[in-house]
Structure 1
Amino acid sequence: MDGHLLIGVAAPVTLKIVDGIDDLGAPTPCAGWDVRALVNHLLHWSPALEGAARKEAVDPGPETDLTGGDWRAPLRTRIEATAAAWAAPGAWEGVTRMGGPMELPADLVGGMVLGELVLHGWDLARATGVEPHFDDVVLLRVYEEVARSAGMGREMGVYAAEVRVPASAPPLARALALSGRDPSWTP
């Protein structure tokens, strides 16, 4: 299944997880980040990721706390808008930028966006005690995308050192491990 179609399959699962968040102070599998920090990360970067789908460089600016008041509706809106932008087949073609001057293959950025939905969806699910149910086709593609960008992710400080899991582990566990997350993490 093409990436532009997988975005539409992954986003509703992440949105359902967002709806279940009840404690912004809960720890997440992302070292040093609680749920509030992760929600802020998603709110902060969504406009740049959405812009990248349209081949527009949107400078995300400095990260600030965006969780005052009603944060859930804006987060839902941003995830939906980002998913809709990347659901366009043309978003995955050519090159684009993620808020900076460096051009990247659009399909690489699209894969990163798919990974953001699933990996951060899993982070939020684990932090809130929910078991996410992403489609197997989505999880296999996320594993492939994380494998494709893991080296660059570590160089940029986005991914931690790989966690060892058996080669027979399911695609989600292997993607999590490649991104530096422990698939068995619990709060």
Structure 2
Amino acid sequence: MARGQLIRSTVATTVGAVRGLRDLDAPTPCAEYDVRALVEHMLTWGPALAGAGRKVVVPPGEDVRVGDDWAAGLEAVLDDVAAAWSDDGAWQGTTHMGGPMEMPADLVGGMVLGEVLVHGWDLGRASGQRPEWDDDVLEFALDEVAKTADQGRAMGMYSAEVVVPDGASTVDRLLGLTGRDPRWKP
């Protein structure tokens, strides 16, 4: 599956999880966020993630607060991220992710895909859903997260790795790398 298709598939599953949300005050597997705070995080950073795919520096927005139409707003932000990263050119050369530092575009694209997938899982699990991504998406995301997991932990983006059993599923291994317990329940 081409990378543009991978990001579209990732977003589609995450949007499905967003549509299933009912309680903005529910805890999430991402310990620092409840559902409301995680949605606000995604709304705040979404334009910067899309901008990176278009090779345009878009700083993260002011902290975006959840309003009455938050679900439609988040879906639009995620669709824009998918549109930006669906172009093969988005993955070539260098880009910026919300700041002045240039990074390889394929590395940033992998980070974006991982961010959308992991936070989609967070939101899904917070509402008792079990989002499922295609195997191609999960394999790609696992490879990408593995490249940056140590750096993510050093920067405070990920918690300590959660050790998963031998033979664990791809999604469980991916979640463990990001410091999430795949067995987490609300």
TM-score, normalization by structure 1: 0.96
Match of 1:50 in 2: 50
User: Residue 68 of structure 2 aligns to a residue in which SS?
Assistant: coil
CA contact (8 A) 2:43 2:64 kept: no
Q: Aligned partners of 1:15, 1:53: CA distance in 2, in Å?
A: 19
Runs of 4+ in 1 over 6 A off after TM superposition: none
CA contact (8 A) 1:176 1:183 kept: yes
Aligned-residue offset at 1:2: 2.8
Match of 2:84 in 1: 85
TM-score, normalization by structure 2: 0.97
CA contact (8 A) 1:29 1:182 kept: yes
Aligned-residue offset at 1:68: 2.0
User: Residue 96 of structure 1 aligns to a residue in which SS?
Assistant: strand
Q: Aligned partners of 2:11, 2:64: CA distance in 1, in Å?
A: 24
CA contact (8 A) 1:13 1:132 kept: yes
Aligned-residue offset at 1:32: 2.3
Corresponding letter in the other structure for 1:112: M
Match of 2:20 in 1: 20
Match of 1:96 in 2: 95
Point out where structure 2 has 5 or more consecutive residues left out of the alignment. none
Corresponding letter in the other structure for 2:168: A
CA contact (8 A) 2:50 2:81 kept: yes
Instruction: Using the aligned pairs only, state the percent identity.
Output: 55
Corresponding letter in the other structure for 1:60: P
Point out where structure 1 has 5 or more consecutive residues left out of the alignment. none
Aligned residues: 186
Aligned-residue offset at 1:108: 0.8
Q: Aligned partners of 1:43, 1:62: CA distance in 2, in Å?
A: 10
Q: Aligned partners of 1:17, 1:169: CA distance in 2, in Å?
A: 23
